[in-house]
Amino acid sequence: MKKIDRYILGKYMTTFFFCLLLFTAIVVVVDISEKTDDFVKANLTAWQITRDYYFGFIPRIVAMLFPLFVFISVIFFTSKMAGRSEIIAILSSGVSFRRFAMPFIFGGVFLALLLWLGYQFLVPKANRKWADFEKTYIDVNKGAARLNDNTSKRDVYFRIDASTYAGIGTYDTVRKEGTRFFVQRFENNQLKYNLRAATLRWDTLRNKWQLGNVQERNLHAENETVKRTDTLLMNYNFKPIDLRKDDYLKDQMTTSELNNFIKMEKMRGSESLSSLLVERYNRDAIPVSVVIMTIIGTALASRKVRGGSGAHLAIGVLISVSYILFSRFSVVFSTKGTFSPWLAAWLPNVIFGLLALYLYKKAPK
């Protein structure tokens, strides 16, 4: 690593982390001013609020704005270098633009790996901590209203395995109790087993489902056997968390947990599979956008223009907003329509990657 590489990389990292700390501090101060009354009513100490709320809130916000922080940082310090004619001097000495951009790309890859690791483990746990605190202390009344709307599920149908189907007439996600439960197993398109239970309840001690007033029918070629039981404990492959259908549950799972959940939902033919797949693919696609934004920022701000950093920052913010809007539109088309979840996650990177390649080719040589 040459001296100029250390200089550029040092500027990149210090500017990025300074922006990160500055914007995070502003967001935290604004959030505290909005939630002061709620914190007072919760009667919690400053350490409890920091540990149980802000240790979840800060990683969530940082991950959300991470690519924007990277882009602004690159635009800002590269534009300053161009304004002081440092880039002209570097290129005039015989250094190619590709060689000049290497420390930028190295820094972008490092930050992308940092964000990728965060999305795999840290951010889901932070989302869980933040959501639990919000539900318990902040949005008590709103949470109660949402709870009343989402507690009772009616006519829930799903697949247990390749040949077995289940359904619940009514299910309470808080009590973990249901009524009119049935299971049907087929072989060669013929019904072979039928179970019906008047009640369904999750036994927290045994981690099994307790069925009440059960009737089991085994159908054979020429006859059938019927068995009635007052209480029956069953170990099915679905748990109460699978019946919650919480839209924010996917954000609170680590990637390994999300992968397992997606496999189960694929088998069950879940309607929410698209949103789960978009979340999974985004955890790999968003870190890649950090490298793309680094290349765009480097190529864009390395040219000395009238207006200096202000003009570069304005163009940079416009590109960032365009990327975010394009990404949101792709997600909506995937979750609400028939657009491929993989394309929804990666198409913004493909389009802006082509933009990065074009700007790189047009960068000053």
Q: What is the pLDDT of residues 161-199, one digit of tens each?
A: 888 999 999 998 878 899 999 999 998 888 999 999 999
pLDDT digits (tens, 9 = 90+) for 216-230: 999 887 888 999 999
pLDDT bin (cut points 50, 70, 90) of residue 302 is confident
The answer, yes or no, to whether residue 147 has pLDDT greater than 60, is: no
Which residues does 189 contact at the CB level (< 8 Å), separation at least 6?
none
CATH architecture of 150-238: Roll (2.30)
Give the model's pLDDT for residue 148: 45
- Percent of the chain scoring above 90 in pLDDT: 35
Give the model's pLDDT for residue 139: 64
Question: For the residues 277-291, what does the mean pLDDT come to?
Answer: 92
Which residues does 127 contact at the CB level (< 8 Å), separation at least 6?
56, 60, 248, 251, 252
Length of the chain: 365
Beta strands in the chain (DSSP E): 152-161, 164-172, 177-187, 190-203, 208-219, 224-234
Give the model's pLDDT for residue 328: 80
- Using an 8 Å Cβ cutoff, are 249 and 241 in contact? yes
Give the model's pLDDT for residue 202: 93
Which residues does 156 contact at the CB level (< 8 Å), separation at least 6?
167, 168, 171, 178, 243
Question: For the residues 9-19, what does the mean pLDDT come to?
Answer: 91
Q: Which two tokens stand for residue 266?
A: 């694929």
- Which of the pair, 197 or 93, is modelled with greater confidence? 197
Give the model's pLDDT for residue 338: 76
- Which of the pair, 231 or 244, is modelled with greater confidence? 231
Question: For the residues 322-326, what does the mean pLDDT come to?
Answer: 82
Q: What is the pTM of this model?
A: 0.76
Which range is most confident: 138-147, 262-271, 276-285? 276-285
pLDDT digits (tens, 9 = 90+) for 253-277: 899 988 988 888 787 766 678 888 9
The answer, yes or no, to whether residue 132 has pLDDT greater than 80, is: yes
Question: For the residues 336-341, what does the mean pLDDT come to?
Answer: 80
The answer, yes or no, to whether residue 291 has pLDDT greater than 50, is: yes
Domain ranges of the chain: 3-141+273-362, 150-238
- Percent of the chain scoring above 70 in pLDDT: 91
